[in-house]
Amino acid sequence: MHDELRYFVAIVEAGTYRRAAQRLHLTQPALSAAITRLEAQMGARVLDRGRRGASMTAAGEALLPHAKAALAAVEAGTRAVAEVEGLRDGEVRLAAGATACTYLLPSILAQYREAHPGIRFLLREASTDEARESLYAGDIDIAVITADEGEPWYTDELILVRAPDFELQTRLERARFVTFGQRSTSRSLLDGLFPDADVVMELGSIAAVKGNVRACIGVALVSRHAVERDLDQGQLVRIPHPKTPLRRPLALVHMGVSRLPPAAAALRELLLSPQGRPKTLATRREATSRS
């Protein structure tokens, strides 16, 4: 059944039997025979074959998410078996937001990599909704999301910043803002904080947001971690406001500790340990001075 499901998903993704057969290194008759066996086992046709390629029937559409989940489960099992031997081999698949990927996780992942150099990392930058979707689809092992669910990991603080030469021409609530796209958590928090804000830029990265704020395009609501060096070097200035810092809880979510592959389970343990909590610039300097 595993191969038949794999071939079914491959045909759906390729769009035609011919392209799927090429990717799978199979003959088209062999691929057709496998789908015939699958349909016999399902008791229904799952694919229609026409001039424009292969299309799913209603039964095929119902089967597809379960087929993907089953294949993901088999892949997870295969990885788990390989990883049991002392974490010398394997893969950790992690999804997190831009702030976590850029500022909070790198030093922690470096610790993990030093302890387990044979483990391969897949770190995917994603919004909270996208990370959840990837988790439920079986594409990742752990997601770091903004939520009160899951296992509490870290409380991030968002602050308002501007360029040193930028002068507000109106009340802050109506100021020009440089921010992120609609699906991002930071944007949702900004919209809740200042519903009348004049959003003049919607960008896809923290670096782009900071660059345009430094160029006096507007102000921004960003993680303190993202701008602590800019503030320290005088490239940005914090804007005091009674509603900030705005605290957002970051949590680890997964499909259950018992279902984590060993490499992912080891990463979870590190992230939840004192060594796996993000450090501020001041804390890192203090630790350096002590050493």
Domains of the chain: 2-81 (1.10.10.10), 89-153+249-290 (3.40.190.10), 156-248 (3.40.190.10)
Residue 77: both structure tokens together = 């099992």
Using only C-alpha atoms, the chain has a radius of gyration, in whole angstroms, of 24
Q: How confident is the model at residue 250, as a pLDDT?
A: 95
Nearest to 85 by CA among 261, 269, 267: 261
- Count how many residues are written for the chain: 291
Residue 5 Cα distances to 2, 25, 30, 156, angstroms: 5, 16, 14, 42
Q: How confident is the model at residue 261, as a pLDDT?
A: 85
The pTM of the full predicted model, rounded to 2 decimals, is 0.67
Q: How far is CA 98 from the centre of its chain?
A: 8
The answer to whether 178 and 200 have CB atoms below 8 angstroms apart is: yes
Distance in angstroms (rounded) separating the CA atoms of residues 4 and 24: 12
pLDDT tens for each residue of the chain, 291 residues long: 888 999 999 999 999 999 999 999 999 999 999 999 999 999 999 999 888 889 999 999 999 999 999 998 888 887 777 666 556 667 899 999 989 999 999 999 999 999 988 888 899 999 888 999 999 988 999 999 998 889 999 999 999 999 999 988 778 888 899 999 887 888 889 999 998 889 999 998 899 999 999 999 999 999 999 999 999 999 999 999 999 999 999 999 999 999 898 889 999 999 999 988 887 665 555 545 555
Q: How confident is the model at residue 76, as a pLDDT?
A: 81
Distance in angstroms (rounded) separating the CA atoms of residues 291 and 281: 15
Distance in angstroms (rounded) separating the CA atoms of residues 152 and 271: 10
Structural element, H or E, at residue 76: helix 58-83
Pairing of strands 119-125, 90-96: parallel
